[in-house]
Chains A and B, each alone.
Chain A
Amino acid sequence: MAEAAIAAAPAPRLRVDSLWIAPPLLILAVLFFYPLGLIVRASFGEDAPSLATFEQVLMSSRFLDGLYHTIVIAVSATAGCLVLGFILSLIIAFVPFPGAKMAGRLIDTVIALPTFLVTLAFTFIYGSAGLLNETLMHVFSLDLPPIDFLYSQWGVILAEMTVYTPFIMRPLLATFSTIDQAQIEVASSLGARPLRIVRQIILPASLPALVAGGSLCLLLTVNEFGIVLFIGAKDVITLPLLIYSKAIQEFDYTTACVIAVVNVVLSLGLYSLYRLAIAHFGGRRAGLV
């Protein structure tokens, strides 16, 4: 045991070596923590620091509305991602179909592409003059587009599900590849049906990946901006969008800063959750390392 512990890294030597961390730390401090500190300061008002603006903003219906939408969208999208991601990963890993490898590569591609592309695509598919509505209007000879969910929070949730499901699938597929196929074969030979195998063998093994992937998903959906901006539905305002409109459209920087502080705190909380999940299950088991 002890001998394995030694093999960590070249033994730390001079204390002077630790000064090497200073340049990147300084850059990070000036470019990130200093600006972050300034919005915290700005959120307490221009002159004498007070909580007045804070109270005012936190009580406003626009903020509460934004917070509500942010949470509902994030939680629904994450739940959707978990279910969809689990099912798709199961099929790719355990019922391999011709082209499953392609599917895996497609997923990696989606992760690399900007999120708002999906929204753009949805406009062409589910928009009022989109593929789906045109088809339905032709087939059923309708005058008005029958499908109209894109410009509501359902549109946002569906778009986020599409974009973030790969973030669940990646760790899941990594976990599935570590499950011993023999275990499943033995279970099958003992008469276990697929659903039972999923429930008793696969689901417990993939729990770490689901928790870690889920909390990452929650973080990303809370912070999502492009999708909401591109859909541009009037009554679907999330916190990031609220910050944008306050600062850029209304030039109300103090309010924007207050909301940004709340948003940052919320994100950091979710990030801690994510780190805790990884620490608890171990990065390797969660398929993230």
Chain B
Amino acid sequence: MLVWSKPWRIATWAVAVPLFLIIYGLPIGVIVLASFSGQWNDILPSNMTLVHYSKAFRSDSFDALKASLLTGVIASGAALVCGTWAALALRNFKTMPKRVLDLLFFIPSAVPSVSVGLALLVAFSQPPFLLNGTTWIVLIAHFVLISAFTYGNVTAGLARIPVDCEQVAESLGARPFYRLRRVTLPLLLPYLVAAFSLSFALSMGELGATVMIYPPGWVTLPVRIFALSDRGAIFDAATMATILGVGTLIVLAILSKVSNRAAVR
């Protein structure tokens, strides 16, 4: 408690709460509101309608939703395996080599997504890897962009799981793979779920690299939202944005429940 006198406290709240609502509540509110509006020529929209939603679950928009979900799940899954593998393998290293390798795995998070997109476009439009125009290149871009975050999350998790448990397991005769399967990975489970959640959210919102490389048959939600808003269909864009946001949050909520259950057990 920093402000003790009641009037001052109320004054602080009177400024803070509306500020908070304007900065974070209002944007979310208007997008959701817009997604239901038929017309918005006045202060508030008129003609509340569900027509944008019925459109969203048809044709192009629905394809975009599917593409985004698939991309998110596949890229996050791959990044999870790769990041966990890397984080586990890096435990065999000490000091300098460890620091260098750690940095290598983190660097993709520092490079701007548009540049990653451009680099993949340049690299995979020429032999030996001709992937331009395929779904693969989108998956690769998402994988590269989120891999550092999964790696970071799993590494942080590894640093927090009790070392004693692993050592006692070893002293009881558990060989490395047995220990990994029966002790390390179960202890790591909450962090793996958290890593997957973060990657999934990042992948769902990825725009910079995707917009550089997406093939016509694999339009993700953010690209679709941009296309809609670019040609002035902002209510449809708002609807897709609402679906994207709500969908992401639902998946995150489910995963966090899974993770909590794993942590409690």
Chain B residues touching A, majority SS: helix
Given contacts A109-B249, A129-B41, A226-B207, contact A263 B24 (CB under 8 A): no
Judged by a CB distance under 8 angstroms, whether B23 is at the interface is yes
Chain A residues whose CB sits within 8 angstroms of the CB of B167 once the complex forms: 10
Of A57-65, A146-154, A205-213, A252-260, the one contacting chain B is A252-260
Please determine whether A95 and B16 come into contact, CB atoms closer than 8 angstroms: yes
Closest residue of chain A to B26, judged by CB? Answer: A125
Given contacts A244-B114, A264-B111, contact A225 B94 (CB under 8 A): no
Please determine whether A21 and B89 come into contact, CB atoms closer than 8 angstroms: yes
Chain B residues whose CB sits within 8 angstroms of the CB of A219 once the complex forms: 110
Number of A-B contacts (CB under 8 A): 253
Please determine whether A90 and B17 come into contact, CB atoms closer than 8 angstroms: no
Which chain A residues in 109-132 approach chain B with CB under 8 Å? 109-110, 112-118, 120-125, 129, 131
Q: In the complex the two chains form, what is the Cα distance from A174 to B73 in whole Å?
A: 30
Judged by a CB distance under 8 angstroms, whether A135 is at the interface is yes
Please determine whether B91 and A9 come into contact, CB atoms closer than 8 angstroms: yes
Chain A residues whose CB sits within 8 angstroms of the CB of B163 once the complex forms: 7-10
Give how many B residues have a beta carbon under 8 Å from the other chain's beta carbons.
Answer: 92
Q: In the complex the two chains form, what is the Cα distance from A248 to B223 in whole Å?
A: 14
Chain B residues whose CB sits within 8 angstroms of the CB of A31 once the complex forms: 120, 140, 143-144
Closest Cβ of chain B: how far from A6's Cβ, in Å? 10
Which chain B residues in 159-193 approach chain A with CB under 8 Å? 159, 163-164, 166-167, 170
Closest Cβ of chain B: how far from A142's Cβ, in Å? 13
Closest Cβ of chain A: how far from B19's Cβ, in Å? 8
Q: In the complex the two chains form, what is the Cα distance from A286 to B23 in whole Å?
A: 25
Judged by a CB distance under 8 angstroms, whether A233 is at the interface is no
Closest Cβ of chain B: how far from A129's Cβ, in Å? 7
Which chain B residues in 210-254 approach chain A with CB under 8 Å? 211-212, 222, 225-226, 229-230, 234, 237-238, 241, 244-245, 248-249, 252
Please determine whether A116 and B112 come into contact, CB atoms closer than 8 angstroms: no
What is the interface residue range for chain A against chain B? 35 or more
Chain A residues whose CB sits within 8 angstroms of the CB of B104 once the complex forms: 25, 28
Judged by a CB distance under 8 angstroms, whether B70 is at the interface is no
Please determine whether A240 and B114 come into contact, CB atoms closer than 8 angstroms: yes
Judged by a CB distance under 8 angstroms, whether A243 is at the interface is yes
Please determine whether B2 and A117 come into contact, CB atoms closer than 8 angstroms: no
Q: In the complex the two chains form, what is the Cα distance from A162 to B105 in whole Å?
A: 29
Which B residues are within 8 Å of any A CB, using their own CB? 1-4, 9, 12-13, 16-17, 19-20, 23-28, 30-31, 33-34, 40-43, 82-83, 85-86, 88-94, 101, 103-105, 107-116, 118-124, 129, 140, 143-144, 147, 156, 159, 163-164, 166-167, 170, 198, 201, 204-208, 211-212, 222, 225-226, 229-230, 234, 237-238, 241, 244-245, 248-249, 252
Question: Beyond A30-B129, A225-B112: 19 further Cβ-contacts under 8 Å?
Answer: A9-B91, A28-B86, A31-B120, A35-B119, A35-B122, A35-B123, A36-B111, A42-B122, A88-B20, A95-B2, A95-B13, A120-B225, A121-B27, A124-B34, A125-B26, A131-B43, A138-B43, A240-B114, A260-B115
Q: Can you give 28 A-B contacts (C-beta < 8 A)?
A: A9-B91, A20-B85, A21-B90, A24-B82, A25-B101, A28-B86, A35-B120, A38-B123, A96-B1, A106-B24, A109-B249, A114-B204, A121-B26, A121-B28, A122-B27, A124-B33, A162-B27, A165-B23, A185-B1, A197-B2, A198-B2, A222-B112, A223-B111, A223-B114, A226-B222, A243-B115, A244-B212, A264-B111
